[in-house]
Structure 1
């Protein structure tokens, strides 16, 4: 079973696990493209150590691959309309 279902399979973010719901809330609240380190800062992750952000980058990539987020060429993420 997918932790992050495709956008058409579960239209509501409430169908996602809590950590993914929080990530989507942070990206949505940003109001524009957001970098991984900015999401990490909101979650309380120490962004001064690059390796600490890699698991978060993976958690942002899953919703992007399944149509919930849009990953821009410069590596930032935003909510899909």
Structure 2
């Protein structure tokens, strides 16, 4: 009876440690907010196997580029410059490819 209780205590400790390790691994894989000019910004990770690591707005951009009939272009209009900056950021991190004519497409 005491042996079973001791085994249960050890099993609970192991489970707790493994749970903490998994939580730490998930936290390190998640996008990390940063500070730029006193404003909170979401850092875009370099290309990884899982798009889930990207913030939701960037995930939506990737889906839209994938669903487009061909390469897409961010029009130079008021309000679209933030979109263009996000597209360029996705190119810099290896998620998208920028063509010489300025249009964007998925990586092959």
Query: Which bracket does the TM-score occupy, shorter chain normalised?
Result: 0.7 to 0.9
For structure 2, which runs of at least 5 residues remain unmatched after alignment?
A: 1-31, 33-41
Extract unaligned runs of 5+ from structure 1: 38-46
- Correspondence 1:16 to 2:54: yes
How far residue 51 of structure 1 moved from its aligned partner, in angstroms, is: 2.4
1:76 maps to 103
Task: Determine if the alignment matches structure 1 residue 6 to structure 2 residue 29.
Answer: no
**Partner-residue secondary structure (3-state), 1:52:** coil
**Alignment RMSD, CA only?**
1.6
Which structure carries more strand by proportion?
Answer: 2
CA displacement 1:3-55 (0-9 Å, x = unmatched): 21111xx2211110000000000000014211114xxxxxxxxx7xx121111
- 1-side partners of 2:44 and 2:66: how far apart? 17
Cα distance in structure 2, aligned partners of 1:29 and 1:70: 15
Count residues with an aligned counterpart: 68
Larger RCO of the pair (alpha carbons < 8 Å, separation 6+): 1
CA–CA separation in structure 2 for the residues paired with 1:12 and 1:66: 13
Which TM-score applies when normalising by structure 2?
0.57
Residues 57-72 of structure 1 correspond to what in structure 2 (within 5 A)? Answer: 57-72=84-99
2:67 is aligned with 1:29 = yes
Distance 1:14 1:28 in 2: 16
Using the size of structure 1 for normalisation, the TM-score is: 0.75
Structure showing greater radius of gyration is: 2
